[in-house]
Amino acid sequence: MVEEHFTEEEKNKLPKHVAIIMDGNGRWAKSRKRPRLFGHRNGVENVRSVVNTAREIGVPYVTLYAFSAENQNRPEEEKSGLMRLLEEFLKRELNAMLRDGIRLRAIGDLDGLPEFANRIVRETIEKTKHNSDWNLTLALNYGSRQEVLDAIHAYSQSDQNIGQKPEWDDFSQHLQTRDLPDPDLIIRTSGEFRLSNFLLLQAAYSEIYVSPLHWPDFDRTAFIGALRDYVSRERRFGKTSEQLFSLQSS
């Protein structure tokens, strides 16, 4: 059993931004002798449950690795099935997003998605852009190395940067995550200990939590378990425990 209630002290330590690598849909389906898309469909259902739990508990930013640039190498049938699920999800959730003040953002190369998926993602971003109560970001056709190369290119195009030593705060404004805080916690399901080209620079100080559960099984209780694990950790950002303690008590 996981204790669902967070004390005020624990609430103050909750992550602001949780980014999730939703792995294991295929294995989940295979273990039930069902097609991979059945796993993805159940994965989408789980997105709703985890998003609702994050909102309820007070984690204001969630970013989901829904489709990596490398996923483009998957069979056409699986890719188009995933894109249809994405379309269905966004159509079905739009009213709830508007009602609940949820702003959708996306990172990744949207132009590399099929036209219908590109369109619905862009439309949903546009329709929710004035919302500010809660923040859902989908990484779609996303790869961190490409994002960094694009940022270097954009940074170096600006006249004022020529010959200057880059400062992180200026450079990071060229990343696609410029509107988001860095992820405090990165969760990966299905027991793999890898970042798989996800938010590599933004993860510099992130805590990482790996769950053995496949994504469709990573339910509310499992998510709360990950948050509980996070609040029990001490984040030092390179400082000693003693330095942190004296900062907190001053």
Q: Note whether 62 binds ligand FPP by CB under 6 A.
A: no
DSSP code of 239?
A: -
Catalytic-role residue among 12, 42, 46, 71: 71
Q: Is 73 an annotated catalytic residue?
A: no
181 phi and psi angles, rounded to 5 deg: -70, 160
Residues 63-102 binding ligand FPP (CB under 6 A) are: 64, 66, 71, 82, 85-86, 89
Per CB under 6 A, the list member of 14, 15, 38, 40 interacting with ligand FPP is 40
Number of residues that bind ligand FPP (CB under 6 A): 18
- 163 sits in the region (left: phi over 0; alpha: psi -120 to 50; else beta) called left
E strand spans, the chain: 17-21, 61-68, 102-107, 134-142, 185-188, 207-210
Judged by beta carbon, residue 64 or residue 151, the one nearer ligand FPP is 64
Q: Which of 18, 44, 62, 106 binds ligand FPP (CB under 6 A)?
A: 44
Touching ligand FPP, residues 153-182 (CB under 6 A): none
Nearer to ligand FPP, 14 or 113 (CB): 113
Q: Among residues 23, 42, 118, 184, which one is catalytic?
A: 23
Alpha-carbon distance of 224 to 221, in angstroms, equals 5
The answer to whether residue 143 forms part of the interface with ligand FPP (CB under 6 A) is no
Of 89 and 223, the one with the shorter C-beta distance to ligand FPP is 89
Q: What is the token pair recorded at 170?
A: 């200026």
CA separation for the pair 181, 185 (Å, rounded): 11
Q: How long is the chain?
A: 250
What is the token pair recorded at 7? 């004390």
Which member of 24, 81, 108, 225 binds ligand FPP (CB under 6 A)? 24
Place of tokens 């990484």: 139
Closest CA to 184 of 75, 38, 80, 58: 58
Q: Is 25 in the site for ligand FPP (CB under 6 A)?
A: yes
> Residue holding tokens 């188009």?
80
184 as an active site residue: the answer is no
The residues that are catalytic are 23, 71
Sites of contact with ligand FPP (CB under 6 A): 22-27, 40, 43-44, 47, 64, 66, 71, 82, 85-86, 89, 138
